Amino acid sequence: MSGRLRTLLAGLLLLAVAALTGLLFHDNPGRAALSMGPLGSLDGPLPAIVLGAFLIGVFSTLLLIGLRRLTRGAFAFRGERRHRRHEAAQRLRDEGIERLWSGQTPAGARLLERAVERRPDDLEAALALADALLQLGENERAQRVLHDAQAVLGPLPRLLARRADLQEAASNRGAAVESCREAFHRLPSSPHLLGRLAGLLAAEGQFEEAIEFARRRIAAEPVAPRRQAAREAWLTLRYRAACAAPDGAETRQLFGKILAESQSFLPAQIALADQMSRAGDRRGAERILGDAARREPVGIVLERLRKIATETSSDAACKRLRDVVARAPGPVPKLFLARALAAAGQADAAAEQLSGVDASEALAPECELVAGEIAKVRGLETAAAMHFQRAATGPHLAFGYRCGSCGRIEADWRDACGCGRFGSYDLICASPSTSVAEASARR
Ligand SMILES: [Zn+2]
Q: Please name every residue paired with 401 in a beta bridge, in sequence order, or none if there are none.
A: 410, 427
Cα of 265 to ligand 1 centre, how many Å?
A: 16
Q: What's the burial of 204, exposed, middle or buried (CB within 10 Å: 0-12/13-18/19+)?
A: middle
pLDDT at 436: 47
Cα of 401 to ligand 1 centre, how many Å?
A: 11
For the chain, the maximum distance between any two Cα atoms, rounded to a whole number of angstroms, is: 150
**Cα 284 to the chain's mean position, in Å?**
39
Q: Which of 114, 111, 136, 112 is nearest to 124 (CA)?
A: 112
pTM of this structure: 0.71
Cα of 433 to ligand 1 centre, how many Å?
A: 15
**Cβ atoms of 406 and 421 closer than 8 Å:** yes
Cα of 422 to ligand 1 centre, how many Å?
A: 8
pLDDT at 438: 53
pLDDT at 431: 65
Other beta carbons less than 10 A from residue 293's beta carbon: 25
Cα of 419 to ligand 1 centre, how many Å?
A: 4
Cα of 371 to ligand 1 centre, how many Å?
A: 31
Q: Please name every residue paired with 55 in a beta bridge, in sequence order, or none if there are none.
A: none
**Cβ atoms of 196 and 161 closer than 8 Å:** yes
Cα of 402 to ligand 1 centre, how many Å?
A: 8
Cα of 344 to ligand 1 centre, how many Å?
A: 34
Cα of 442 to ligand 1 centre, how many Å?
A: 12
Residue-by-residue DSSP string for 397-433: -TT-EEETTT--EESS--SB-TTS-BS-EEEGGG-TT
Question: How confident is the model over 183-226, as pLDDT tens digits?
Answer: 999 999 999 999 999 999 999 999 999 999 999 999 999 999 99
Low-confidence ranges of the chain (pLDDT < 70): 1-2, 313-314, 431-443
